[in-house]
Amino acid sequence: MIDLKGKNALITGSSRGIGQQIAIGLAQHGCNIILHGRTQKSTEETLKILEEYDVKKYQVFGDLADEDQTTDLIDQVKALNIPVDILYNNAGIMRPYRHDIWSHTTEDWLETYKVNVVAMYKLCSAFIPSMINNNFGRVVNTTSRIMDQPQLAPYGASKWAVDKLTQDIAVALKDTAVRINYLDPGWLKTDLGGENAENPVEAVLPGALAPVLVEDDAPNGQFFSAMDYKS
């Protein structure tokens, strides 16, 4: 297990839910945390939770469905003048459940892919090159093992795209000290997972940290399941 103390971690979608838990988990390991939410105020609750940890905390914001806001978010992070050692692409959206599986709209598809895939790629593009230069980096892309749900086809398809994108980027990182992997947090009680989910959101730890804690020569472009580490 590597030492993360003093590393800087950017966690998208860390205003609540899974992202908030990941922020807590990484702060417990001594990471400085860059929180992200859609608006400047949306990460205030997570910021208060992190007050008990002796780490630096930063806040950035932007709607990942909007290309200009995504670019501005990247600029906000770079303006902090600190290296991003860990990029946790946790943010994701799910468009409405369509009982009529043939009624998914073009907006459903485009909005889902903008957030779940395109913004993820842009963030990887913005921060992985400097990780390579700094000879350290950990990137985790949140995926899902949702299956047999044509009513949520755009979401399911976007998560398969996340898997493939991660695998492809991993090839480019083969001879570097940067590791990129993808993680299924499991079915959790969150705004997205719903009240009928099998596990409380807190169950995502410690498993969600497993792909961050791998060594430099460890798995790359591999799948992790947070529930495999559930106590």
The domain ranges of the chain are 8-229
- Angstrom distance (rounded) from CA 114 to CA 12: 14
pTM to 2 decimals?
Answer: 0.95
Q: What is the pLDDT of residues 165-200, one digit of tens each?
A: 999 999 999 999 999 999 999 977 666 666 676 788
Residues 6+ apart with CB under 8 A from 96: 108
**Ramachandran sector of residue 220 (left: φ over 0; alpha: ψ -120 to 50; beta: rest):** beta
- Angstrom distance (rounded) from CA 158 to CA 119: 12
Crossing angle between the packed helical segments 119-134 and 153-172, to the nearest 10 degrees: 20
* Parallel/antiparallel/unpaired status of strands 178-184 and 137-142: parallel
The confidence score (pLDDT) of residue 191 equals: 67
Residue from 114, 29, 25 nearest 68 by CA: 114
Residue from 4, 30, 1 nearest 136 by CA: 4
Mean pLDDT over 32-41 rounds to 96
Query: In the chain, how many H helices and how many E strands?
Result: 6, 9
Q: What is the pLDDT of residues 49-62, one digit of tens each?
A: 999 999 999 999 99
**Residue 7: which pLDDT band, with cuts at 50, 70 and 90?**
very high
Task: Sort 176 into a burial class: Cβ within 10 Å, 0-12 / 13-18 / 19+.
Answer: middle
The confidence score (pLDDT) of residue 187 equals: 78
Q: What is the pLDDT of residues 63-116, one digit of tens each?
A: 999 999 999 999 999 999 999 999 999 999 999 999 999 999 999 999 999 999
Mean pLDDT over 9-19 rounds to 96
The confidence score (pLDDT) of residue 155 equals: 96
Average pLDDT, the chain: 95
- Give me the percent of the chain exceeding a pLDDT of 70: 96
Residue from 19, 115, 9 nearest 70 by CA: 115
The confidence score (pLDDT) of residue 198 equals: 75
The confidence score (pLDDT) of residue 8 equals: 98
pLDDT tops 70 at residue 210: yes
**Residue 230: which pLDDT band, with cuts at 50, 70 and 90?**
confident
Mean pLDDT over 146-152 rounds to 94
**Domain 8-229: CATH class, spelled out:** alpha beta
Residue from 124, 206, 123, 101 nearest 173 by CA: 124
